[in-house]
Amino acid sequence: MSWDELAPDGVYPIAGANALFLEPCRMISSAYAHYFALPHRYYSRSFFLRHHDHSADNPQTQLPQKKRKRKRKKPIHNHSNPKELLAEQRHQGIRQFILDAHQAFLAIPEVSDLLKSLEDLVHKSKGSSDCEEIHDTGTDMVDFVKLSYVWQSPFYDITLFGVQGSSLRSTAPISTFPLFKSTVENNLHKESIGICAGTTVILPEKSRFLMSDFADTWRTLASHLGNDYNFILIDPPWENKSVHRHAPYSTLPNKYLLSLPLKDLANHQGALIGLWVTNREKLWTFVEKELFPAWGVNLQAIWYWLKVKSDGQMITELDISHHKPYECLLLGYMLPHHKKDSSQVPPPKVPPDKQVLISIPGDHSRKPPLACSNFFNLDNFLRNLFQHLHRLNVLSAFIALLSAYVPGHDQMRGLELFARDLHPGCTSWGNEPLRFQQTQYFSKR
């Protein structure tokens, strides 16, 4: 059995557990009519690293050539200080849920078919061509963060083109925007192509982005991006020794996040807030005691992203003290700003606690694409509907991923902060929101 038969949109509910197995490439692809995300690009670390270090293909993740000392794994129970003890207590509180979810995942009768078919897809996609030759704008990926520092950066533009029919020839230019510090929008009900800085990017339908540094725009984020979001997903560049060492991106002092103007960005009727956090106790204390109170967010549920290898086993042992195989998504509500509005809005359906999302990780720090979970490309939907009638069941699980929990009845209006990609119907902000939108990550359908 293949993914096409079992979970065409990449979301496989795991029976008997509060858990879902996700295939992010399919989730991303379901949002595009003309393109699909290339599995070998998405999973380059998980499927190929053993044989070849693909970080060397990517200028942003190149490591210095010096030999790295092999670090000894920390002993399993080494709680020399009170913070470690607290972290261990937190871990002990959820380890059985994680184990149960993982057991239920391994017990899926089709699990080996799903993993095998994914591996086949990844290897097959390696042989297929990506989109770059269509637009003839060079083969190198652009490092937008570096580009934003050069003196010419204010002069860089992005020009959007429509995508025409199956030939994928771009139409006449639709519009041109400054590339940095300006809100760029694809207001078409289909994806468009953006040409900028010698590269080509794909913009999903109705997506928007602002590419800027926190220092330059934190005061003006709401005037750039609007104040109507009922779902805000945040994946900050937390200070972290290992991030410093490998330096895939720069980090921000945690205190800076207190200045993120979440209240200004959120819809006046309230918003669901999702915050990715690492397992460091210092960080949890900061979020619980300072950050959420400053933002006015009430913590409601914690979801766990369990990372597995291509054979389905966890990426590290569950009980190693400093490198857990899971990361946490804290979900909370920012309450309505005005009392009179709160009476008009039905109370949101609260997300279930301890939901486990299982997937094989992609690039360093790349999270499963939760922000695209409520938006469907109609062409894809109809195409798949006719091919796979049982998809309707899957669809309900997929939509329920997060959009069911946003305040209000209507559509999710999503904003992703510190984003590295775009999603249909959503707005992305960060210093590199086009990173994974470059055509090298996609192929033609």
Residues that bind ligand SAM (CB under 6 A): 145, 213-215, 235, 237, 249-250, 252, 365-367, 418-420, 430-432
d(CA 79, CA 77): 6
User: Judged by CB, which is closer to ligand SAM: 376, or 441?
Assistant: 441
User: Judged by CB, which is closer to ligand SAM: 365, or 373?
Assistant: 365
Q: How far is the CB of 367 from ligand SAM (least distance, A)?
A: 4
User: Judged by CB, which is closer to ligand SAM: 7, or 372?
Assistant: 372
d(CA 161, CA 23): 29
Q: How far is the CB of 339 from ligand SAM (least distance, A)?
A: 34
Residue 271 pairs in a beta bridge with: 334
Q: How far is the CB of 401 from ligand SAM (least distance, A)?
A: 15
Terminal CA-CA length for the chain: 22
Q: How far is the CB of 297 from ligand SAM (least distance, A)?
A: 18
Cα pseudo-dihedral 181, 185, 191, 193, rounded to 10: -50
Are the beta carbons of 397 and 11 closer than 8 angstroms?
Answer: yes
Backbone angle region of 34, left / alpha / beta, with phi > 0 → left and psi within -120 to 50 → alpha: alpha
User: Judged by CB, which is closer to ligand SAM: 24, or 194?
Assistant: 24
d(CA 26, CA 348): 28
Q: Which residues contact 367 (CB under 8 A, 6 or more apart)?
A: 235, 276, 305, 327
Q: How far is the CB of 12 from ligand SAM (least distance, A)?
A: 20
User: Judged by CB, which is closer to ligand SAM: 45, or 366?
Assistant: 366
Q: How far is the CB of 336 from ligand SAM (least distance, A)?
A: 27
The CA R_g of the chain, rounded to the nearest whole Å, is 21
User: Judged by CB, which is closer to ligand SAM: 23, or 432?
Assistant: 432
**Which is nearest to 358 in space by CA: 58, 6, 17?**
17
